[in-house]
A = this chain, B = another copy of it.
Amino acid sequence: MAPQVSVIGSGETWEDAAAEIGRLLAERGCTVVTGGLGEVMAAAHRGAKAAGGTTIAILPGERRDDANPWADHVVVTGIGHARNLAVAASGDAVIAVGGGWGTLAEIAFAQALGRVVVALDGAPEVEGLRTAATPAEAVELALAGIE
């Protein structure tokens, strides 16, 4: 099975970085998992698709149509913010790009479950996380962690 890497975060200013991370993950053979909505989530999926990768959206709501247009597969959870647990748990590694409170919850769950977590500079600051200065470094650290 292909490694699965979750890209979490939010904020329009982080879309370029997220797209770059999605592209690099796809080039390395990883499936890109996100929360399935816009901004960082959509950009990571878009980057992965541009590189021929595979994408999975894990949505909070009850409608498949809420997923961004670059989602290949859509899991409709219906459990609101609690789907953040599924996003965190479904990644062999998790990369945080920008983001707010929802991202912080995902980081916390990923750490609680022993997933590899990498925070790109600008993500919520949490003691004990691997941090990366660039998308390429974030992807390297994530993949190194799960090998």
Contact = CB atoms under 8 A, between A and B. Distances in A.
Copies in the complex: 4
A73 to B, nearest CB: 6
Contacts of A92: 64
Interface of A is mostly: mixed
A144 interface: no
A113 interface: yes
Contacts of A85: 77-82
A74 interface: yes
Contacts of A82: 78-79, 82, 85
A127 B125 contact: yes
A143 interface: no
A147 to B, nearest CB: 15
Interface string A112-136: 1100000000001111000000000
A89 B113 contact: no
Interface of A: 1, 4, 31, 33, 54, 56, 58, 62, 64, 71-82, 85-86, 89-90, 92, 100-102, 104-105, 107-109, 111-113, 124-127
21 contacts: A4-B74, A56-B56, A64-B92, A75-B86, A76-B90, A77-B86, A77-B89, A78-B79, A78-B80, A78-B81, A78-B86, A78-B113, A80-B80, A81-B85, A81-B112, A101-B108, A101-B109, A101-B112, A105-B109, A108-B108, A125-B127
